[in-house]
Amino acid sequence: MSQTDKILIKNGRVIDPANNVDEKADVLVAGGRIEQVGSIKEEAGKIIDAAGMLVVPGLIDLHVHFREPGDEEEETIASGSAAAVAGGFTSVVCMPNTDPAIDDQPSVEFVHRMGRQARKTFIYVMGAITKARQGVELAEMGLMARAGAVGFTDDGAGLQDTALMLRALKYASMFDVVIAQHCQDDSFGTAGVMNSGYNCTILGLPGIDPLIEEMMLWRDVQLVKRANVRYHAQHISTAGSVEIIAEAKKKGLPVTCEVTPHHLLLTDDAILDYDTNFKVNPPLRTAKDIEALKQAIKDGLVDALVTDHAPHLQSEKELEFLSAPFGIASLECALSLYVKALIEPGVVDWSGLISLLTCRPAGVIGIDKGTLSEGAQADITIIDPDAEYTIDRETFVSKGRNCPYHGWDVKGRVETTIVGGEIRFSRG
Amino acid sequence: MAKNSKLKWNRKHLLGIRDLSAGEIEFILDTAEGFAEISTRSIKKAPPLRGKVVVNMFFEDSTRTRLSFTLAASRLSADIIDFTKKASSVSTGETLIDTARNIEALGIDIVVIRHNAGGAPKLLSRNINACVINAGDGFNEHPTQALLDVYTIRQAKGSLKGLKIGIVGDIAHSRVARSDIWAMTKLGAEVTLIGPPTLMPSCVDRLPVNVCYKLDDVIERLDVINMLRIQFERMGKQQFPSIREYSHFFGLNVERMKRAKGDIIVMHPGPINRGLEIESEVADGKNSVILKQVSNGLAVRMAVLFLVNQAAMREAKSRKK
Amino acid sequence: MKVILDANQIKVVLGELTAAIAADVPAGMDIAIIGIRSRGEIIARRLSKSLSESLGKAVPFGTLDITLYRDDLNDPHGQDQPIVQGTIIPFDVNEKIVILVDDVLYTGRSTRAAMDALIDLGRPKAVRLAVLIDRGRSGRELPIQADYAAHKVDIPPSQLVEVNLVETDEKDQVIVE
């Protein structure tokens, strides 16, 4: 290994929550791995001056939709990957609700291969729990797990059949994977397009009751008691869900959960103008729910922050609110959104935020990532915490322009993203 | 008569009642009074929309509202074209905006839109230059219906101030109820919603209304009763056990009318399900203003067409300057 | 500002106007007075009263709203908002001599609109125009002239004529600004 292949990141504030590190230090990368963290005198082929910057483990997003295969006009694994590194993410987990669904081994391998070809971020996959996400027959979870799937979910839909869900949990327990759930009980009806409440009443739009999420989450928690497997509640959005999670964790159940930036920043008041960029599932809730989610984060009940990056065509988002698809594209500006939602109001400090974006999500899916331990794979994100800018969706690398934060003034920006020891993104 | 001539009507779209002030609503009603006379002439026509093109874009079945708008526009000498299409809930084919832009390219001035999606008229108004009039969107609003309702009440009672008005039926799925609630309460009436809890919208307690689950508890106090049509097509799931049971508790029948005030007025947005929400004898009885509502609808819609067009003319003129 | 007619003078000229109209009514013909909103309506109301007295029979009175017939609806002046108040003519205009009444005859455009509005209501035997003030030919834009003018005075287009009537304003007077 010659000196010229090495990268030296100097004078940054290194935050590595897994190792309880938050100090000014240099980081030396060699051979795709972290060689040393500390005061480093050694020369390197590439020196990055990170004075005033945060040097943190590469960010991990457990929940993205890259739409490939099937809807490549909305996003591809290549375009999504480029957006990921621009947003500081060195690992992302693709959801299986593509067309066709990622429900067998070749599909998992396909996504991995496209990710390797894109050569931007590490691409992980969650496979579908049931064939074609139909909620009827179990998919070949074992073979998918062997091909590298890190977990299973029918995301985009909840698994309705209680007995089948219990079987899925029990069956999956023989592989070291997590079963994730998009909690949505369809017996309440599936016509809803926004939070059920006063705003849906005055807008004349069908509502999505918080109970729709809470009933399935509660049911799943009861099932987890019977099956010794990790369970992960995806994008929880209500105060009631927080209570259920708290209760489950108190009982010591292997239950984890994730929260999106939009459920921390936006309420259903945003829909008063029928702007479909605010149409998302689970829907934007109320200020009370935001407070409960923030408190949950403060209390350590939340295990991961995820974008649920869901790009859609502009022409689809131009449809009537009733018909437009659900989803928000926010991968590239996610970090700034977390800063606004959590750092600025003092919910967590930087170290707390970074842990929710690195070591803790890594733990949810059981991957050996999210730290700057010496010898670890060199996934590093360099952040300028003071950079102020205005979010401009027209500059996104992602194909998704359905970003409701367009025009927001935010703070905190990713400057450099190093994946496996290679600089894959550098601003400027 | 226009009592407040200082007020200006500056909206080139009528999307709903919720955004309007009491003054604006009264201005429309006053203007409508001026238009009512046209329908009494032997030559039922006036020229203010001569050379203007009105398109009825109806994505949902409607005979009465469309006829009323068509007639209103013809009485003002506009040209009217009809565009009828069943809205598809899937995102295939031509979008609403595409359709509208195509029609606009033909040179239209006013779009009257009925759509199954709440907010569709607003979406349209953001994307085309023509005036947009909401003729009913999903279960959001049906502003001209509410305007003709309050016009009819004002005609019968002089004013809405302090009147006790009951709206009975499927509030949750009713755009008429929503627009009525805004219009009536803004004009000073006290509104009570009456129906089973399953037909009440969420957070109904936050609306400026009373809620009552028993028609018999309030019937004696009402000055106005508006019987909504039970819209089976709009209800996703069974919201009450049977029509028989619904009629028993919420139908307006002769027996119930005996307990009502002698001068109560009975309204219905139509079309009536006779024997379901209202008994024929009541619908056709002396307290009924149901047919007056229909004729008043014409005057109200003429006023609305006239006012939005005038606002558009002024806007175009000020843009030129 | 200059007062060209005070209350007393208005009373006098309207008296003369009544006499002139009454003198012209052919025997056996019905006449009706229709005022153009809003000040023409008031003058018409007064004329209807005085004519009823002088002819010894009721001369019906109606109000014409010409807003919908204005020729500037598609070309509004500034933020001026046309207010529709409605036409109220509680009699049949067919076969009557209709005396159309306005406060001021200037460009002739209101009169044109009024005639169109009137024709939509029926077919009078004849339509005559009576005005309180005839501003003369200098500002006329259409080939229209008054059959009866209570007061004729040449006023250049640069000046404004304002008619105040006690029914809506404080007192009867006509001023030029």
Are residue A109 and residue A150 in the same domain, yes or no? yes
Nearest to C37 by CA among C78, C87, C99: C87
* Residues of C in Cβ contact (< 8 Å) with B35: 84, 86
Q: Is the pLDDT of residue B204 over 80?
A: yes
Are residue B280 and residue B149 in the same domain, yes or no? yes
Q: Name the average pLDDT for chain A.
A: 96
Strands (E), A273-346: 304-305
Q: How confident is the model at residue B2 (pLDDT cuts 50, 70, 90)?
A: very low
Nearest to B208 by CA among B26, B18, B15, B27: B18
Are residue A154 and residue A212 in the same domain, yes or no? yes
Q: What's phi and psi for A163, nearest 5 deg?
A: -65, -40
In DSSP notation, B255-296 reads HHHHHS-TT-EEE--S---BTTTB-HHHHTSTTB-HHHHHHH
Residues of chain C with pLDDT > 90, as a percent, come to 81
> Cα(C85)–Cα(A280) distance, rounded to whole angstroms?
49
pLDDT value at position B126?
A: 93
Of B138 and B318, the structure prediction assigns the larger pLDDT to B138
User: Residue A321 and residue B118: Cβ atoms within 8 Å?
Assistant: yes
Domain-located, residue C105: yes
pLDDT value at position B87?
A: 59
B237 lies within 8 A of chain A by CB: yes
* Residues of B in Cβ contact (< 8 Å) with A198: 202-203, 206-207
Domain-located, residue A371: no
Q: Is the dihedral of CA A347, A351, A355, A358 positive or negative?
A: positive
Tokens of A374: 């010496």
Are residue A273 and residue A412 in the same domain, yes or no? no
Are residue A30 and residue A93 in the same domain, yes or no? no
Domain-located, residue C134: yes
Catalytic residue of the set A308, A368, A384, A409:
A308
Are residue B176 and residue B222 in the same domain, yes or no? yes
**CA–CA distances in Å: residue B152 to residues A402, B160, B187:** 45, 10, 13
Domain-located, residue C84: no
Tokens of A44: 């390197």
Residues of chain B with pLDDT > 90, as a percent, come to 78
Q: How confident is the model at residue B89 (pLDDT cuts 50, 70, 90)?
A: very low
Query: What own/partner pairs with CB < 8 Å and gap ≥ 24 does C9-12 have?
Result: C9/C151, C10/C132, C10/C150, C10/C172, C10/C173, C10/C174, C11/C172
pLDDT value at position B88?
A: 52
Are residue B147 and residue B284 in the same domain, yes or no? yes
Are residue A166 and residue A49 in the same domain, yes or no? no
Domain-located, residue C86: no
Q: What's phi and psi for A17, nearest 5 deg?
A: -55, -35
Are residue B138 and residue B148 in the same domain, yes or no? no
Domain-located, residue C157: yes
Q: Is the pLDDT of residue B90 over 90?
A: no
**CA–CA distances in Å: residue A265 to residues A390, A417, B319:** 16, 25, 38
Nearest to A14 by CA among A277, A391, A380: A380
> Cα(B278)–Cα(B257) distance, rounded to whole angstroms?
11
> Cα(C121)–Cα(B41) distance, rounded to whole angstroms?
7
* Residues of B in Cβ contact (< 8 Å) with A274: 118-119, 122-123
C13-67 pLDDT, tens digit per residue, is 999 999 999 999 988 889 999 999 889 999 999 999 999 999 999 999 999 999 9
- CATH code at A162? 3.20.20.140
Q: How many residues does chain A have?
A: 428
Are residue B130 and residue B155 in the same domain, yes or no? no
User: Residue A203 and residue B140: Cβ atoms within 8 Å?
Assistant: yes
pLDDT value at position B104?
A: 85
Please state the rounded mean pLDDT for residues B117-139: 95
Are residue B201 and residue B266 in the same domain, yes or no? yes
Tokens of A135: 């909620």
Residues of chain B with pLDDT > 70, as a percent, come to 94
- CATH code at C147? 3.40.50.2020
Number of domains in chain A: 2
Please state the rounded mean pLDDT for residues B174-185: 97
A267-293 pLDDT, tens digit per residue, is 999 999 999 999 999 999 999 999 999
C116-171 pLDDT, tens digit per residue, is 999 999 999 999 999 999 999 889 999 999 999 999 999 998 999 999 999 999 89
- B97 CB burial (10 A radius; 0-12, 13-18, 19+): middle
- CATH code at B203? 3.40.50.1370
Chains C and A in direct contact, meaning 3 or more beta-carbon pairs closer than 8 angstroms: no
pLDDT value at position B93?
A: 66
Phi-psi region of B162 (alpha: psi -120 to 50; beta: other; left: phi over 0): left
Domain-located, residue B127: yes
B25-64 pLDDT, tens digit per residue, is 999 999 999 999 999 988 899 999 999 999 999 998 888 9
Domain-located, residue C150: yes
Please state the rounded mean pLDDT for residues A158-164: 98
Residues 65-84 of chain B with CB under 8 A from chain C are 76
Are residue B148 and residue B286 in the same domain, yes or no? yes
**Nearest C-alpha in B relative to A191:** B236
Are residue A176 and residue A260 in the same domain, yes or no? yes
Number of domains in chain C: 1
Number of domains in chain B: 2
Domain-located, residue A42: yes
Looking at residue B170, its amino acid is D
Nearest-neighbour CA in chain B from C89: distance (Å): 10
- CATH code at A384? 2.30.40.10
Q: Is the pLDDT of residue A7 over 50?
A: yes
pLDDT value at position B256?
A: 96
Tokens of A161: 């059949």
Please state the rounded mean pLDDT for residues B180-198: 97
pLDDT value at position B170?
A: 93
Nearest to B37 by CA among C3, C64, A130, A250: C64
Q: Is the pLDDT of residue B235 over 70?
A: no
Name the CA dihedral angle for A258, A289, A211, A316, rounded to a multiple of 10 degrees: -70
Low-confidence winner among A352-361, A363-372, C29-38 (lowest mean pLDDT)? C29-38
pLDDT value at position A44?
A: 87
Q: For chain B, first and last CA: distance in Å?
A: 32
Q: Is the pLDDT of residue B115 over 70?
A: yes
Could you say which of B35, B47, B314 has the minimum Cβ distance to residue C76? B314
Domain-located, residue A399: no
Domain-located, residue B5: no
pLDDT value at position A67?
A: 97
8 Å CB contact between B208 and B181: yes
Nearest-neighbour CA in chain A from B169: distance (Å): 16
Domain-located, residue A372: no
Domain-located, residue B10: no
**Nearest C-alpha in C relative to B75:** C68
Domain assignment of residue A111, given as a range = 58-365
A187-220 pLDDT, tens digit per residue, is 999 999 999 999 999 999 999 999 999 999 999 9
Domain assignment of residue C123, given as a range = 2-74+91-176
A60-86 pLDDT, tens digit per residue, is 999 999 999 999 999 999 999 999 999
pLDDT value at position B69?
A: 98
Domain assignment of residue B49, given as a range = 22-142+294-320
Are residue B183 and residue B108 in the same domain, yes or no? no
Tokens of B21: 């002030």
Are residue B50 and residue B186 in the same domain, yes or no? no
Residues 247-306 of chain B with CB under 8 A from chain C are 303, 306
> Cα(B26)–Cα(B39) distance, rounded to whole angstroms?
21
Q: How many residues does chain B have?
A: 321
A306-342 pLDDT, tens digit per residue, is 999 999 999 899 999 999 999 999 999 999 999 999 9
Instruction: Choose, out of A202, A314, A318, the residue to mutate when testing the contact with B (most B CBs < 10 Å).
Output: A202
Domain-located, residue A182: yes
> Cα(B225)–Cα(B153) distance, rounded to whole angstroms?
10
pLDDT value at position B6?
A: 62
B179 lies within 8 A of chain A by CB: no
- A292 CB burial (10 A radius; 0-12, 13-18, 19+): buried
In DSSP notation, A156-218 reads TS----HHHHHHHHHHHTTTT-EEEE----GGG-S---EESSHHHHHHT--EE-HHHHHHHHH
Please state the rounded mean pLDDT for residues B213-242: 86
8 Å CB contact between A179 and A232: yes
Please state the rounded mean pLDDT for residues A13-33: 97
> Cα(A248)–Cα(A250) distance, rounded to whole angstroms?
5
pLDDT value at position A4?
A: 64
8 Å CB contact between A304 and A356: yes
> Cα(B153)–Cα(B146) distance, rounded to whole angstroms?
10
- Helices vs. strands in chain A: H and E counts, helices first: 13, 18
Bridge pairing between strands C148-152 and C161-164: unpaired
Are residue B158 and residue B175 in the same domain, yes or no? yes
Please state the rounded mean pLDDT for residues A390-394: 97
> Kind and range of the H or E element at C55?
helix C39-55
Is A308 among the catalytic positions?
A: yes
Domain-located, residue A269: yes
Q: How confident is the model at residue A134 (pLDDT cuts 50, 70, 90)?
A: very high
Are residue A16 and residue A89 in the same domain, yes or no? no
Strands (E), C68-138: 97-105, 126-134
Are residue A171 and residue A229 in the same domain, yes or no? yes
- Helices vs. strands in chain B: H and E counts, helices first: 11, 10
